[in-house]
Amino acid sequence: MAAAPLRDDQRIILHFDYDCFYASVFEVEQPILKTLPLAVQQKQIVVTCNYEARRRGLHKLQLIKEAKKVCPDVVIVLGEDLTKFRDASKDLYLFLRGFIWDGGVEKLGFDEIFIDVTDMIAYNAAMLNPHDLSHSFFHLNRQDPTVGFEFDATNLYGRVYPDGASAADLSSRAEFDPLQLRTRLLLASHLAGYLRGQLEDQKGYTATAGISTSKTLAKLVGTVHKPNSQTTLLPPYATVKDPEESNVLKFLDSREIRAIPGIGSKSSRKIISYVTASEHAKAEDGLTVRDIRLLPGMGPPVLERILSGPGAPRGIGMRVWELLHGVDNSPVGEARDVPTQISIEDSYGSLDNFEVARKAMIALAASLIRRMRTDLTEKYTDVEGEATSASASHGETGVRWLARPRSLRLSTVPRSLPGSENGHSHSRISHSAPLPQYVFNLDESEDALAERLVRELTTSMFRKLHRERTGWNLRVLNLAVTNMVDLVGKHSSGRDIGRMFQRQEAEHPEGSTAPQPLPMPNTPQSTPAVASEAVWEESDEEDEMTGVQCNACGASIPHFARTAHEVYHTSASQ
C-alpha cells in the first residue's frame, strides 16, 4: 500500500446545506405549511418534501399518486418554475456573504454553500483572552470591535465527531495539535452556530452545517446529524506514530466510496469493479473506503490505471488517493457576480406542431428573461446621478444591469422517427443571433418581452433549424443567452461602455464563429445531457446583408453592423 498523502489543515471551511430547501421556500411564504405534510411536485414526481411529510412516510422521487396513497392529506405545491427557488438561493447567498471577510463564499446548486472562514478564525483566535475563555467575544468586523457576538470558548458549539468528544478531551493532547486546530475548529463551531441562527431568525430558513479543514470533509461531516444541526470533525487529523488514530481516517473508513464528494459514479464503479475482482477483497455489498484504501498494492499508480481513459484528467489517480484520505486542497471559489451564460431548457413527450413549439418557446423566453433579471441585475442607490433604470432618479434606489449578454442561442434535440436506425434520438442542433436590446427594458413585463422576442427573432431561428413545416418531432427545446459583457466592475461603481465594447469587439470580432459552450440541463425537469451534442450554426450570406430595423431610431441597419449601432445608442444614453 502506498504512503498516505501529506495533509494541509491550515484552512477552516464551513459547509451549509439548507434543510428541505424547495419546501422551505414555500414555508417561508406561508408559515402555516410548516405544520402540514408538504410535497413539492415537478412533473409527476415528489422532488422534495418537508420533515412532517417524511415523518408520515413520504420521500424524495416518489410518484405523486403513491404519495397521495401514503399520506392522503399531503399538501402538494407545483415547483416546476424555478424562479422563486433561484431568487431565494441568491438572497441567502448574499445574506451569508455579508458576514464573511474576503468574499470566500461558494454556492453549490441552490441549497448548498461553502464558506472559507480561515482569516476570521485566525483573527479571533489571536483576540482570545486565555484567562476568561467563558466570556469570549467573536469579532465580525475588523474595524468595529463592537460588531459580533458573545460565546463560551471553553466548549464547542453543536455536535461533534467522534460523538461524545469535547474540548476538554483534547486539551491534554497538544502533540496532535501543532496548528492550534482544536482552538480554530472550536471558534468555527460558534461562528457556524451564529450564522445558522441569523439565517433562521432573519430569513426563516434552517440549515445543517459541517465544520472542518476542507470542502470534502466539511460537506461529509455535515451529513452526520440532520436536520437543523451541525457537526465539527475534531482532531487529531494527522498522527505520526499511528496514522490509524486519525479521526479523519476513522470518519472516512466506514463510508462507501460512492459517498465521497469528488469521486463520480463512473469512477466509483470502476474502482469497485477492480477491488471486488481482487482475491483480497470482499463482496461489493458493504465495500468501504477502508477496504479500498488498505487493499494490498493500492495507491495512485493503480488508481491511475483503473481510472485513466478518454477524457480522464491527468493525475486522477493521485487525486482520488488524496480524497480517500480526506485530503482536499481545492479552494472555495468566490462566486461570480454574474454567470457566463444563462440557459433554460425543457423536455417534451411530443413536439411536432409549430404552434405548440411557438408557445413552448414563449414560455422558455419568459423564464429566460426572469432569470436574466434575477442573475444579471442589482438594486443600488443612485448617489452620483447615473440612474440606469427609468424608476430611479438622483439619490433614489433603482435597478441596474450588472452584465448584458450579446447573443441568443436556440437549441433543439429532435426525436428519432419510428423505424429509424437504432431508435436513437438526434444530436442537439443550435443557431445563434445577436440579442435585441429591447430585452433589457426593465419597465416592460417579462411576458410581453417574451412574446416579442419569439415573434421577431426566435421564430426565424427555429425555421433555420427546421426548414420543413412538418416531419420533425422535438424532445428538447433550449434557449440561452451567451457572450456576457460585464457592465459594472467589482471595484467600480461606474461604467465605461465605449471602452468595454472596444475590448469585446477585439476579443470577439463581429462575424467570428468561435464555438459557444453547450448548456448542461440545469433544471430538475430537464432531459439528461445528450451523449453526442454537435452544434450546427447555419450561416446565410443573404441574411448578413439584409437590413434590420433599429429598435431605438428606426433606421435600417445591415445585420453585420447591428451590434455596433446598438452600442452607439447605449453610449449616447449614458
CB 269 within 8 A of CB 282: no
Amino acid at 394: H
What does the angle CA 165 – CA 171 – CA 177 come to, to the nearest 5 degrees?
95
Cell numbers 392529506 label which residue? 73
The one-letter amino acid code at 475 reads: R
As a whole number of angstroms, the distance between CA 125 and CA 87 comes to 36
Rounded-to-integer distance, Cα 59 and Cα 53, Å? 8
Exposed/middle/buried for 506, CB within 10 Å: 0-12, 13-18, 19+? exposed
Q: What burial class does residue 144 get, using C-beta atoms within 10 Å of its C-beta: 0-12 exposed, 13-18 middle, 19+ buried?
A: exposed
β-pair type (474-486, 342-351): antiparallel
Q: Which of 229, 245, 227, 238 is nearest to 162 (CA)?
A: 245
Q: Which residues contact 370 (CB under 8 A, 6 or more apart)?
A: 83, 446
Q: Is 112 considered catalytic here?
A: yes
Surface-to-core class of residue 149, CB atoms within 10 Å of its CB (0-12 exposed, 13-18 middle, 19+ buried): middle
Q: Enter the C-alpha cell of residue 295.
A: 487493499
Angle at which helices 265-277 and 316-324 pack, to 10 degrees? 80
CB atoms within 10 A of CB 148: 17
DSSP, collapsed to helix, strand or coil, labels residue 101 as helix
Query: In this structure, which long-range contacts are made by residues 379-385, counting pairs with CB atoms below 8 Å and at least 24 apart in sequence?
Result: 384/493, 384/494
**Torsion angles phi and psi, residue 361, rounded to 5:** -65, -35
User: Helical H runs in 98-177?
Assistant: 118-127, 167-171
What are the phi and psi torsion angles at 432 (to 5°)?
-120, 155
φ, ψ of residue 501 in degrees (nearest 5):
-75, -30
How far is it, in rounded angstroms, from Cα 455 to Cα 563? 20
| Integer Cα distance of 65 and 81 in angstroms | 21
Q: Are strands 75-78 and 38-42 parallel, antiparallel or unpaired?
A: parallel
- Report phi then psi at 364, rounded to 5: -65, -40
Catalytic one of 27, 52, 106, 112: 112
Residue 470's closest CA among 348, 349, 361, 350? Answer: 350
Instruction: Give the residue numbers marked as catalytic.
Output: 112
